Amino acid sequence: MRYILLIAGRRSLMTNKSIGIAALGLAVQLMVGLPVIAQSAPAASQRPALMDRQREIALALSACPAPVASKAAVYVLEESGYVKVRDGENDFTAIVQHTLPTSQGPQCMDAEGARTMLPRMLKVAELQAQGKSREEIKRFMADASAKGLFQPPSRAGVNYMLSTENLVPNEKGVPVPFPPHDMVYAPYLTNAAIGVRPDLGPDGNLSAPRPSPLKVPLRP
């Protein structure tokens, strides 16, 4: 089973042919590299433990479709932040994102994602390496985005997360397994354009009770 997570405008829709609604805040934070803030999130060091380099390369590439993985660029995490360890021969970049010290999100992003989302991830890792808190990082990234230092995607694109080893923060900020999925981002696409209900709250859930369906008598 494979999921599709669609970041559409300011809403998100996760579907495997209508599997359900995903939380907007978490999805967007995962896409742009912001640290997840939650009351139950660990309060210890913000720096994730470094992995064996070959293990991290393999984990990053596990996010890619097989035809893409062999020629994708690869980044790995070191003491001062991410470093590029392999140049790409296609338009894709593989990296393991750590939104929390104990989480791991192998990603394989297209060229537009590498141009707009990757710089955010690299900066967050750099700030983590400097010992900045999650709140400090969140404020820095918000300010940098407001000043135009980070650009939003200018077109639709895809970010593959096909690894079977995804450990991503849930709505409480606790890393949990998440199935392989594709993240398709579609800037400026609205809920109405993709037929999503307009009464969703900011977390992607219904902000009002769902009305009871009309009862239509069946023909004998």
From residue 4, give the alpha-carbon distance in Å to each of 13, 68, 158, 190, 219. 8, 18, 10, 17, 37
User: Rounded to whole angstroms, how far apart are CA atoms 20 and 167?
Assistant: 20
- Residue 32 falls within a domain, yes or no? yes
Per the structure, the count of domains in the chain is: 1
- Whole-number percent of the chain with pLDDT over 70: 67
Q: Which domain holds residue 87?
A: 3-194
Mean pLDDT of 80-95: 97
- Residue 186 falls within a domain, yes or no? yes
Check residue 190 and give its pLDDT. 73
Q: Identify the top-confidence range among 3-12, 15-24, 43-52, 171-180.
A: 171-180
- Residue 42 falls within a domain, yes or no? yes
User: Tokens 């690894």 — which residue?
Assistant: 163
- Residue 26 falls within a domain, yes or no? yes
103 CB-near residues (< 8 Å, 6+ apart): 36, 48, 167, 168, 169, 175
- Residue 77 falls within a domain, yes or no? yes
- For residue range 114-165, what is the model confidence (pLDDT) as tens digits? 999 999 999 999 999 999 988 999 999 999 999 999 988 999 999 999 999 9
pTM: 0.73
Check residue 7 and give its pLDDT. 56
- Residue 206 falls within a domain, yes or no? no
- Residue 200 falls within a domain, yes or no? no
Lowest mean pLDDT among 51-55, 70-74, 77-81, 131-135: 131-135
- Residue 213 falls within a domain, yes or no? no
- For residue range 124-136, what is the model confidence (pLDDT) as tens digits? 999 999 999 889 9
Mean pLDDT of the chain, nearest integer: 78
